[in-house]
Structures are given as structure tokens and as C-alpha cells.
Amino acid sequence: MANPWDGLKDVLSGQLTDTIGKLWNNAEDKAFLTYNAEKIAKYITIAKNPQSTAAAKDEANFNLDMLRASIGAYAAQKAIIAGQSAQETAKQVVAFAIGVLMKYVPV
């Protein structure tokens, strides 16, 4: 005989697995972060090098600003996905709880 909470556990487990999969796609995240780390290192080196020209330093600082914006947007996208997934999980949990109550609570 199945535990009456198995359905809830399955819904939560499925949603959490799906959410984690969306938020932490290791290959995609690793590639993005590796690429950006390399670019940040490159541009910081140029910006801090006393032998760099003023134009090269300006370009490096501009590129660092663009990288900051890109990484910020990436992090914001992750937060939005997390929020949407949490809302969907909450809806499914409530629907499951109402379904359980309607089946097992005598009227």
C-alpha cells in the first residue's frame, strides 16, 4: 500500500529536480563563467598595466563594464527562473493538498 504522501513527495521531488536542472546546468554555467573569468583577467591586466596606453585602458574598462552587465543579467535570469519555478511548485503543492483533502475528508 502506497503512502498517501508519496504523490506530494513525487511532485516536490520532480519540481525541485527540474528547478535545479534549470538553475545549475553545469556545462552551460561552467562555460559561461570560464569565458567571463578569462575575459575579466585579460581586461584587468590591461587596465592595471602601467605600460598600457590610455586608449587601451579605456577600452579595457569599457569591456569590464560590459562583462559586469552580462554577468549581472545572467544572475538575474537565474533568479527569475528560480522565482517562476518556486511559484509553479507552490501551485502544484496547493493543488495536491486540495486534491488530497477532497478525496479523504468526508463531506
Q: Which domain holds residue 40?
A: 29-96
Question: Is residue 85 included in any domain, yes or no?
Answer: yes
62 in a domain, yes or no?
A: yes
Q: Are 64 and 47 in contact (CB under 8 A)?
A: yes
**What is the CA angle 50-48-31, rounded to 5?**
140
21, part of any domain: no
Threshold 0.75, pTM exceeds = no
Is residue 77 in a domain? yes
Is 15 among the domain residues? no
Say how far apart CA 40 and CA 44 lie, in whole Å.
6
SS3 category, 16 = helix
Query: Using CA atoms, how far apart are residues 69 and 13, in angstroms rounded to an integer?
Result: 34
CA angle 5, 7, 10 (to 5 degrees): 110
Number of domains in the chain: 1
Q: What is the pLDDT along the chain (107 residues), one digit of tens a residue?
A: 566 556 656 665 666 566 556 666 668 877 887 788 888 888 888 888 899 999 999 999 999 899 889 888 888 887 787 777 767 766 766 776 666 666 666 65
pLDDT of residue 12: 58
